[in-house]
Amino acid sequence: MFRFANIEFLYGLLLLPVFWLVYWAVRSWRRRVIRQMGDPSLVERMMEGVSRSRPAMKLFFFSLAWLFLVLGLARPQLGAKLETVKKKGVEVIVALDVSNSMLAEDIQPSRLERAKKAIAKMVDRMENDRVGLIVFAGDAYVQIPVTSDYQAVKMFLPTIGPSTVPKQGTAIASAIELAEKSFTPGEGKSKALIIITDGENHEADPVAAARKAHEQGITIHTIGIGKPSGAPIPITVNGQRTFLKDQNGHTVITRLDEKLLQEIAAAGGGIYVRATNASMGLNKIYNRIKGMDRKEMKEKNYSEYNDLFQYVIGLALFFLLIEWMIAERKSRFFSSIRLFNTPEKGGER
């Protein structure tokens, strides 16, 4: 198994396009200056020692050096020993509403962003439990199957938004039914589903779905996010911030449906918690989940890893050395060498 031990260093790769954008900006500025000085061909003949290709070559090798340096700092590792580990824990699936109504800002910075941050903090508390993620709007989709790879869950969270699900709406029942199929098959009551939504259900009966899932040993908790008084849904149209409107031109107000979420939690044998700006309520629910009967789960994990960063850093130093050896200006010594006594055409580029 291949992995990066310090995966956060990979963000350094975002600087690569910045290097090239700066290079092309300086190159364009230089051309404009030369045109202002006079005829470009004449000015360039006067700048005999200046090379147009060498800065690009230097940047190319510097970019390779930067690429491998960042990869090296991220500590690439290869699994060397696989062993079966027995753990006792609970399987937790989070069903997150990603409909447009979750963009409302009555919970700061928005309902959706606040929920994602709370999920990340809950994952940080996990040790032997497994976690999965379902997103839903008009339909429900498994985004992360039940796993003990907490880092993968946290990395995926920032990418989630209303565009994740093509059909808008709030199909809570579909999310419950999909979660029921997504847990590891087997008997036991160590399965918990946490539904985070504003509760504006537009599809089938979620209470009946919750009752059926609870009969299969799944405990369902609900978190209501938003305010009963409601809030408009911010959108961006042609670069301008505005609010979602209905067919009659009236601003759409999305309101928390606490009654429905309380009924779902009661049918699922769990509890309902209302999120506020001060607390999402996930800690309260997770504390309750930790008190559930924990089943033994077997996992195959790599217990030992071989570091590969030294080879990658070596490549970075090699390309950095090449970049250092390439002079920005032409060498008078090498430019005077004529192997075939052919006339120079335009000089070294």
39-53 pLDDT tens trace:
666 656 655 556 667
Verify that 12 and 150 share a domain, yes or no.
no
Q: Which of 30-34, 75-79, 123-127 has the lowest mean pLDDT?
A: 30-34
Please give the Cα distance from 101 to 138 (Å, whole number): 12
pLDDT surpassing 70 at residue 274: yes
Pair 113, 201 in one domain: yes
Picking from 293, 325, 344, the residue at the C-terminal end of a domain is 293
Q: Would residue 166 count as lying in a domain?
A: yes
What are 92's two structure tokens? 């937790």
Residue 173 shares a structural domain with residue 255: yes
Q: Are residues 52 and 112 in the same domain?
A: no
Residue 166, pLDDT score: 86
189 inside domain? yes
139 part of a folded domain:
yes
Mean pLDDT of 166-195: 88
* Residues sharing a CB contact under 8 Å with residue 157, sequence separation 6 or more, in sequence order: 116, 119, 120, 133
- Does the pLDDT value for residue 301 go beyond 70? no
HSE, CB side, 13 Å, CA atoms: give it for residue 322.
16
- Region 143-149: mean pLDDT is 92
Look up tokens 């990869």; give the residue.
71
Residues 70 and 95 in one domain: no
Residue 229 lies in a domain: yes
H helices of the chain, in order, are: 15-37, 40-46, 54-73, 111-125, 150-156, 172-182, 206-215, 258-267, 282-290, 309-325, 332-335
For range 136-150, the mean pLDDT: 92
* 50 phi, psi to nearest 5 deg: -90, 130
In the three-class reduction of DSSP (H, G, I as helix; E, B as strand; rest coil), residue 150 is classed as helix
Tell me, yes or no, whether 60 and 158 share the same domain.
Answer: no
Tokens at 64, concatenated: 């390779």
Closest Cα partner for 96 from 185, 148, 164? 164
More confident residue, 258 or 341: 258
pLDDT at 349 over 50: no
Same domain, 101 and 216: yes
Q: Which of 122, 120, 121, 131 is closest to 90 using CA atoms?
A: 131
pLDDT band at 262 (very low <50, low <70, confident <90, very high): very high
Tell me the pTM.
Answer: 0.63
Q: What is the CATH number of the domain that holds 238?
A: 3.40.50.410
Structural domain contains residue 125? yes
Task: Yes or no: say if 130 and 146 are a contact pair by the CB < 8 Å rule.
Answer: yes
Is residue 57 pLDDT above 80, yes or no? Answer: yes
* Percent over 70 (pLDDT), the chain: 82
Contacts of 20 (CB under 8 A, 6+ apart): 59, 63
85: in domain: no
Q: Is 346 part of a structural domain of the chain? A: no
Instruction: Give residue for tokens 């962003």.
Output: 113
SS3 state of residue 243: strand
Q: Which residues contact 205 (CB under 8 A, 6 or more apart)?
A: 173
12's tokens: 């350094």
Residue 38's pLDDT band (cuts 50, 70, 90): low
- Higher per-residue confidence, 1 vs 55: 55
CA neighbours closer than 13 Å in the CB half-sphere of residue 132: 22
Q: Is the pLDDT score of 297 beyond 70?
A: no
Domain span holding position 222: 91-293
Same domain, 131 and 261: yes
What is the token pair recorded at 338? 């004529």
Considering its fold, how many domains does the chain have in total?
A: 2
Whether residues 16 and 61 fall in one domain: yes
Same domain assignment for residues 163 and 279: yes
Helix (H, G, I), strand (E, B) or coil at 251: strand
Which residues lie below 8 Å from residue 245, measured CB to CB, with a gap of 6+? 251, 252
With a pLDDT cut of 90, the percent of the chain lying above it is 55
145 & 209 share domain: yes
Omega before 145 cis (within 30°)? no
Token representation of residue 295: 């089943």
Q: Which residue has the tokens 């009661």?
A: 266
Tell me the pLDDT tens digit for each residue of 59-102: 999 999 999 999 999 999 886 665 656 677 889 999 999 999 99
Distance of alpha carbon 66 from alpha carbon 317, whole angstroms: 9
Same domain membership, residue 65 and residue 126: no
Within a domain: residue 203? yes
